[in-house]
Amino acid sequence: MEFINKKLDAIIKKRRQEIEDTPLNEHLPHDILTSMIIKNTLRDVDYIEAGKVTRAMTDTEIRVNLFDGLLGVNKTANMFSFIIYYISRNPDVKRKC
């Protein structure tokens, strides 16, 4: 687990530095890691200075979310939900089952 955490932390740190080195007027790639890093910062297209006070995600929060997305328990639940939906929407598959 420690090895995975260190690898994810290194990836996050590297991507955060790439974002900081990119000029504000230059577009960033659309990926989940970049989205988590820039959320609630000046880079976020939905960023609003006035009103509700929010903060950017910490590296630890990003790491936990990435790890959960890769190996989280919700993947199994989502897979079973998809299978049940697929079977219920396809009569031929339902008959075979």
Domain assignment of residue 78, yes or no: no
Domain assignment of residue 90, yes or no: no
Domain assignment of residue 28, yes or no: yes
Mean pLDDT value across residues 23-49: 84
Across 1-5, 13-17, 71-75, 82-86, least confident range: 71-75
Question: Which SS3 state, helix, strand or coil, does residue 6 take?
Answer: helix
Number of structural domains, the chain? 1
Question: Which SS3 state, helix, strand or coil, does residue 51 take?
Answer: coil
Domain assignment of residue 94, yes or no: no
Domain that holds residue 52: 2-72
Distance CA 1, CA 95 (A): 44
Domain assignment of residue 36, yes or no: yes
- The number of residues in the chain equals 97
Domain assignment of residue 41, yes or no: yes
